[in-house]
Structure 1
Amino acid sequence: MAEHDDVPFNRDFPLQPGVVDDAGPGVRRVLCNNPSPFTFTGTVSYIVGRGQVAIIDPGPDDEAHAAALLDAVRGETVTHILVTHTHRDHSPNTARIKAATGATVYAEGPHRASRPRYESEKISSESGADRDFVPDIAVRDGEIVEGSSFRLEAVSTPGHTANHLAFAWPDRKLLFVGDHVMGWSTSIVAPPDGSMRDYLASLERLTQRNEDLYFSGHGPEILGGQRYVRFLIRHRQAREASILHRLAKGEADIPSLVRAIYIGIDPRLSGAAGYSVLAHLEDLVARGIVATDGDPVIGGTYRLK
């Protein structure tokens, strides 16, 4: 969702599906042909190292993409499969790649929500979750995943999902950021799957690290990653300020807030925008700034406390 100009988005990403692109020393990428308003031109899978390699985010349940990845590593050995998070556009193809290569699968863990679902929640925003995924090895923050030609550090980045990990290659000052940071748009944070409080804390955490080249799950690489993350933090702070400005005029439901804040939004994204507003409201209610009757849910009405 990129309806404001306060973040320097980059939508210049000419990579074609199935083509192997040398993105930098030791990093290749292959685009899956699953474009949408949420995935941009599609999911980007990464091949890390040479000879004995890792594949990061094998992508959706897509036989053609799996074949393209396997073709890209012909003559090499896939020893590791790393998954940043368990959304259906990132993890389901893991089973195909594992079956073909015998590689060990590393991730934070199975899919889980950022908080328990409220009894009053009629619908869930978690339809995009891959609930079948289970890693061979659960990786915790700071743990090292190492192959013969790479050494990656797991960086816990919850927020977009509770189990989201980034993978840093400290020696090369680059970071595979999954959907936590994207250059073409802001990330969707949709409760109960995601948490705005966790997301903002994870962004702040990246500003304390040394990596400055980011490879995302969708769209082009990000140069000057730390500076870009600070743009994203200010963008979220501005979004919160817009919500509070609207609530200062009187109580409102989420569709009213979306109309007031997301001017000219693609109608296909209005539902996701509503959940992003909910994520902010959930945080504001927890901080005692905003009130609602009952649990903070998508159908609620909100007012300043």
Structure 2
Amino acid sequence: MREILPGIHIWSKLSPPHGYDFNGYLLELAESDLGGNLVIDPVEPSQQELDAIAAKGAALILLTNRNHGRAANAVREATGAKILINPADRLHAESQGIAVDGALLVGATFGPIEAVDAAGKSPGEVALFWRDRRVLFVGDSIIGWPAGACKLLPDDKMDDPAQLRASVARLQTLEFDTLLPGDGVPILKGAREPVGALIESWAA
């Protein structure tokens, strides 16, 4: 696990079928009213990484979509954090064995983080926006690949491709500078430009 921005830590696991990393994030939020840190879309950690997560602690694990339960149960067991997901994606996540504790509703805030609608890949997909720091966390709504660029999953992996494109266009209106994807390579500066280029490519 490494700190890529002050108080924002990442750990990654290569997905050979995709050719890029899947990422989990830990946000240090000691000053918030959550009573602990946030974990987003945790991927399978090494034992050393799991020990580091447990040492920092977490209050909540936020899942951006039904397929990002990943190692949430292991992090929950190690930290006592509660797992939250949008109700529209909850049944699927639970069918995969994820121990969901509560709802991650669009418009809800978790300390400085706001849940934003990003539906389309699945009905309950959300993005997580840290407005004060201009950081946007995305699950499967935008893939950070190749490095420095953005793409979407293939249409056959989406429930509603047109809805997802509309969601991404709305995300582009947010004032973010950093894009931290669950899949692919983070873009630490100037991230609205490659997201804009992705949107423009649909009209080509």
* TM interval, short-chain normalised: 0.7 to 0.9
State the number of aligned residues. 194
Which residue is 1:24 aligned to? 5
Which residue is 2:39 aligned to? 55
1:109 to 84, 87, 96: 87
Distance of 2:72 and 2:198 partners within structure 1: 30
**Counterpart code for 1:101:** T
Which string of whole-angstrom CA distances, capped at 9 and with x for unpartnered residues, describes residues 149-169 of structure 1? xx2100110122222111111
> Is residue 112–residue 193 contact of structure 1 (8 Å, CA) maintained in 2?
no
Which residue is 2:65 aligned to? 85
The alpha-carbon deviation at position 24 of structure 1 amounts to 0.3
> Is residue 60–residue 83 contact of structure 2 (8 Å, CA) maintained in 1?
yes
Query: 220-229 or 155-164: which moved more?
Result: 220-229
Structure 2: runs of 5 or more not aligned: 31-35
Distance of 1:85 and 1:31 partners within structure 2: 18
1:136 to 80, 83, 101: 101
**Counterpart code for 1:56:** I
1:70 to 45, 50, 58: 50
SS at match of 1:42: strand
1:209 to 174, 190, 194: 174
Structure 1: runs of 5 or more not aligned: 1-19, 114-125, 239-305
Rg comparison, structure with higher value: 1
**Counterpart code for 2:21:** G
SS at match of 1:237: coil
> Is residue 30–residue 68 contact of structure 1 (8 Å, CA) maintained in 2?
no
**Counterpart code for 1:235:** S
SS at match of 1:224: coil
The alpha-carbon deviation at position 50 of structure 1 amounts to 5.1
SS at match of 2:37: strand
TM-score, normalising length: structure 1: 0.57
- 1:166-205 matches, cutoff 5 A: 166-185=127-146, 186-191=151-156, 193-205=158-170
Which string of whole-angstrom CA distances, capped at 9 and with x for unpartnered residues, describes residues 66-118 of structure 1? 6344222343221110111122xx313111111222111122136389xxxxx
The alpha-carbon deviation at position 195 of structure 1 amounts to 1.1
The alpha-carbon deviation at position 138 of structure 1 amounts to 1.2
> Is residue 29–residue 46 contact of structure 1 (8 Å, CA) maintained in 2?
yes
TM-score, normalising length: structure 2: 0.82
**Counterpart code for 2:143:** M
- 1:267-282 matches, cutoff 5 A: none
